[in-house]
Amino acid sequence: MSFSPPQRLIRADAWRSLVRLLMTVVVLLAVAVRPVAAQSILRDAETEALLQDMMDPLLVAAGLQPGQVRVHLLGERSINAFVAGSQDIYVFAGLIDAADSAEEVQGVLAHELGHVMGGHAIRINDGAKAATSISLLSLLLGAAAIAAGGGEAGMGIMMAGQQAALGKFLAFSRIQESTADAAGAQYLSKAGISGRGSLAFFKKLQNLEFRYGVKQDDDQAYGRTHPMSGDRIQSLREVYVVDAAWAKPADPAIEQRFQRIKAKLQGFISEPERTLRKYPESNTSVPARYARAYAWHKSAYPQKALAEVEGLLATAPEDPYFLELEGQVLLESGRPKEAIPPLRKAVTNSRSQPLIAALLGHALIATEEPANFPEAEEVLKTAIALDNQNPFAWYQLGIVYANKGDQPRAALASAERYQLEGRQAMLALRNADLAMQGLPEGSPDWIRAQDISLVARAEVERERKRR
């Protein structure tokens, strides 16, 4: 049976529409899963400490223990945050930059905690399954209609089914977001934190929608993953303004630390020219000096960076993070010996903060003086004992072991590093197997190498099947 040209065109257009719709469903599901491995995680001791201190009162309000949910910083400039796994919150650098106060970020953290407590990262599969059931049923019915000779009717059934599936998934997502909004408001209230910041941040999002022409009428709500910002603001305002914490002043210590972190992050991720425009040298505040120190360091002006650090240390000589920055600038400017004293002091003053300790270990190794390697081994082992999720620390410890001639443990350290970095399963497997060959069988290190080998081998096999 042949089709006339107009019918063929109609059918081709229908297929293209169906493909676009299916692609939309796939993209939305991919966004819902949000693979963290594809993101760039920023590790900074001061930032992580602040985010956790901002998070802990909310955790207690939710009935959890401090530190039970961890907050991670991603290096992307999007104004976004999400939950991955069951108890990990990821905040984008762009969100920190867009926020004007710590309370705004705490409003976002409270919302994300609502997702955690609701198990939304896990339950998203429920919404996907429901949508997939509709989708598959429509495909089967449409295929049956086409087989019976009703080509256009079959295509209509398929497309209607895909649209229904997409709508069901989006409705499921909007319900989760509304639930997280309500839960976040409760956590802020119980923690004694005003909802002013939450409303202010939602207003920022609404302004962005206005700027980019996103319509706010009810007809547009059907195709959104989140409720309309205006509706969210109205609903939350009714809750916040009557809350006892509404007029409570913000925590001045947290706010001061937040402004430091915001400026520090600006200096780290932005182009130096932009940072120097925002924080001119006439501004001698701590946040401004912090931002300029990173801008000058990125621009390869170490002396100007060190001058800003000196200004910071003049205000707080014992501040471990200012000392850490001084050591970092010296180390990365090719002066590792000079970096050691401030870094040693930073490690002591921070009570062996693992990220700072790893930097000290790096400086000790960078001197290439054998006398410094025992201290490097000690501080790196301490750093890993406190935080074994730092691939840089494992890399440095591997250098120490290789320098000692302990190749099996050097290989194990490399296996740990490659496993943490992700997308390096083959290298993790090779190094783990090499470590097992030289370590005493059944020893703790041998067992650890075996664990890495098993996980890495499974990942390599999965990758081969995908290809």
Region for 66 from its dihedrals, namely left if φ exceeds 0, alpha if ψ lies in -120 to 50, beta otherwise: beta
CA atoms within 13 A on the CB side of 291: 28
Does pLDDT of 169 surpass 50? Answer: no
Non-local (6+) Cβ contacts of 285 within 8 A are none
Q: Has residue 153 been placed in a domain?
A: yes
Spatial strand order in the sheet of 88-92: 41-42, 70-74, 88-92, 81-84
Is the pLDDT at 464 greater than 70, yes or no?
Answer: yes
Q: Looking at residue 32, what is its pLDDT? A: 43
pLDDT at 205 over 90: no
pLDDT > 90? residue 18: no
pLDDT bracket for residue 85 (50, 70, 90): confident
Nearest to 91 by CA among 46, 48, 45, 29: 48
Domain end call among 190, 217, 240: 240
Model confidence over 342-384: pLDDT tens digits? Answer: 999 999 999 999 999 999 999 999 999 999 999 999 999 999 9
Q: Look at residue 394 and tell me if it is in a domain.
A: no
Task: Please tell me the pTM assigned to this model.
Answer: 0.80
Q: Which amino acid is at 283?
A: N
Distance CA 72, CA 89 (A): 6
User: 213 lies in a domain?
Assistant: yes
Residue 333 inside a domain? The answer is: no
Please report the pLDDT score of residue 156 as a whole number: 53
Q: Which pLDDT belongs to residue 158?
A: 47
Least confident among 49-58, 85-94, 307-316: 85-94
Which of 312, 293, 290, 311 is CA-nearest to residue 301? 293
Task: Report the SS3 class of residue 88.
Answer: strand
- pLDDT band per the 50, 70, 90 thresholds, residue 46: very high
First to last CA, the chain: 39
Query: Mean pLDDT for the chain?
Result: 84
Does residue 117 contact residue 98 with C-beta atoms inside 8 Å? Answer: no
pLDDT value of position 155: 53
How far, in Å, CA of 336 to CA of 366, rounded? Answer: 6
Instruction: Answer yes or no: is 370 within a domain.
Output: no
pLDDT of 428 above 90: yes
- Asked whether residue 461 is domain-assigned, the answer is yes
Task: Report CA 373 to chain centroid distance, whole Å.
Answer: 34
- Tell me which of 190, 211, 240 is where a domain ends: 240
Find where tokens 């443990």 sit. 409
Q: What is the pLDDT of residue 384?
A: 97
Contact predicate 376/396, CB 8 Å = yes
Give the pLDDT band (50/70/90) at residue 228.
confident
278 within some domain: no
Range of the domain at 425: 406-467
Under 8 Å between Cβ of 428 and 418: yes
Residues 6+ apart with CB under 8 A from 90: 34, 36, 39, 71, 72, 73, 74, 81, 82, 83, 84
For 198-264, give the secondary structure using H, E and C.
HHHHHHHHHHHHHHCCCCCCHHHHHHCCCCCHHHHHHHHHHHHCCCCCCCCCCCHHHHHHHHHHHHH
Nearest to 279 by CA among 300, 254, 258, 296: 296
> How many domains are contained in the chain?
2
Min mean pLDDT across 33-47, 94-108, 351-365, 391-405 is at 33-47
Q: Kindly indicate the confidence band of residue 226, based on its pLDDT and cuts at 50, 70 and 90.
A: low
* Contacts of range 215-223, beta carbons closer than 8 Å, 24 or more positions apart: 221/174, 222/167, 222/170, 223/170
Q: How far apart are CA 226 and CA 220, in angstroms?
A: 11
Whether 98 maps to a domain, the answer reads: yes
Q: Is the pLDDT of residue 148 over 90?
A: no
Mean pLDDT of 38-51: 89
Boundary-marking domain end, from 221, 240, 259: 240
**pLDDT above 90 coverage of the chain, percent:** 68
* DSSP for residue 342: H
